[in-house]
Structure 1
Amino acid sequence: MKKANLLIAVLICFTASAQFDNNFGVKAGTNYSQFRPDVEYYNGEKVQDFQGKLGYYVGGFFNIAISDKSSIRPELLFANQGTTSKEFYVDFFYEEEGEVVNKVNDLMILLPVSYRLALVDFLFLEVGIQPGYTLKRTVVVKEVSFEPSWEGERATYSNFDRFDFSLNGGLGFDLTDQMELNLRYSYGLIERDDIIKTSVISLGLGFNL
């Protein structure tokens, strides 16, 4: 009986959804990401300062209508995220100290699922969740105050926490019937590598196909 009731409920939801416009499309844009919080000594002195870096995302979506004003939207995105890291470096053996600036690039697969609610005809609100998985992490040395010859060196890391999970919130604007502008903030909930969480602002365009 329970299985029959569940099947009926699913059929009712599917029938109701079919009365509205379901659509799919592609989207792309830029993001501004950083890790948080900064790393500090026990006395409050910073040893690693995380700042933002520009990246990008590209992917697709499927919009599942619930009513004429609300929908569920799962997405599949490929994104370049990460952070800019400023570290205070001390090498007692060589008696060197100074600031080292690295750019951390995380190539990620993101699977956002958002509930979207139209506030007015052209403006909608969205909230949801976002699992993510880091395919590759590359660190590029940008500045070394005491050893400029290190600048430009890069390394690929494999031993780090790859899975991420975030809460999303944002606004969207329908520019035309086929094109929308989307602004979203992702707040990471999982502490990765026992230190960091993610923070990402993204802005981009979506196109209904």
Structure 2
Amino acid sequence: MKRIIIIIALSFLTANLFGQNTTTEYGLKTGINYSKYTPNIEFNGIEVVDFNGKFGFFVGGFVNFDFSDILKLQPELLFALQGTNTSQEIELRFSPDQEPVVGELKSRVTESTISLPIMLQIYPTEKFYIEIGPQFGYIVNRKEKVTDDPFTEFGSPFGVSEDCPNCDKFDLGASLGIGYNFTSLIGISTRYYAGLIERNNTIKSSVINLGINYKL
């Protein structure tokens, strides 16, 4: 958590230093996201865990530094619920004389995440822009809930839900998006985030956002 606080402080300090002769605007944003882990987990060349997308939401605020009609910088501070749905085919034998039971176990992973995107916005027209930049994340909480357990009637060994206190909490990636300002106050934007570092030695985050921006 200390790492993300330092990054936030440095980001706003840098923006303020560059923004001595710029127009500064503040705003709020909210929207939905569609997220999943990548890649699927393989064992001996066979996929054993499939990751599928799940819907969530995000909410937060931003500061927009207007350097010119073409170039702007927008640091943001967001809270998001994201994660992934999982499915895996499992074969279990509940007693030595019983035939193995095969079924598809499904679960939903939900991550409460604080994100700091720092987006460089390029305006080819007055209202339309393209944005790109790094995004830092801190996972405050991660929970996995079993949503479909085909082994329940046999005395399933799988729990209903599970926390992961030892899972990696820091995330880092890159975001690329587009946006359109309907008025000087209201606009929409869509953005794709791709994780650049592996978490828990296996997975990266992949998130699509669609949101509304409102300047105060």
- Aligned match of 2:191: 184
1:23 is displaced (CA, Å) by 0.2
1:93 is displaced (CA, Å) by 4.5
TM-score (norm 2): 0.84
Is contact 2:19-2:67 (8 Å) kept? no
Is contact 2:81-2:110 (8 Å) kept? yes
Count of matched residue pairs:
196
1:91 is displaced (CA, Å) by 2.7
Counting aligned pairs with the same residue, the percent is: 35
Once the two structures are superposed, residues 142-179 of structure 1 have per-residue CA deviations (whole angstroms, 9 ceiling, x without a partner) of 11223268799222221101110010000001122101
Output aligned runs, 1:102-113, within 5 Å.
102-113=107-118
- Aligned match of 2:161: 154
Is contact 1:126-1:171 (8 Å) kept? yes
Question: Structure 2 CA distance, aligned partners of 1:177 and 1:28?
Answer: 17
- Aligned match of 1:201: 208
Is contact 1:142-1:152 (8 Å) kept? no
Amino acid at match of 1:39: I
Once the two structures are superposed, residues 20-74 of structure 1 have per-residue CA deviations (whole angstroms, 9 ceiling, x without a partner) of x3200000000000000001121x2211000000000000000011112211100
Match of 1:145 among 125, 144, 150: 150
Is contact 2:19-2:65 (8 Å) kept? no
Is contact 2:77-2:117 (8 Å) kept? yes
1:16 is displaced (CA, Å) by 3.1
Closer/same/farther in 2, CA of residues 188 and 93 from structure 1, 3 Å limit: same
Q: Which runs of 5+ in 2 are unaligned?
A: 1-14
1:81 is displaced (CA, Å) by 0.8
Amino acid at match of 2:105: V
Output aligned runs, 1:28-107, within 5 Å.
28-42=30-44, 44-94=45-95, 95-107=100-112
1:131 equivalent in alignment to 2:129: no
- Aligned match of 1:4: none
Closer/same/farther in 2, CA of residues 155 and 126 from structure 1, 3 Å limit: same
Q: Which runs of 5+ in 1 are unaligned?
A: 1-9
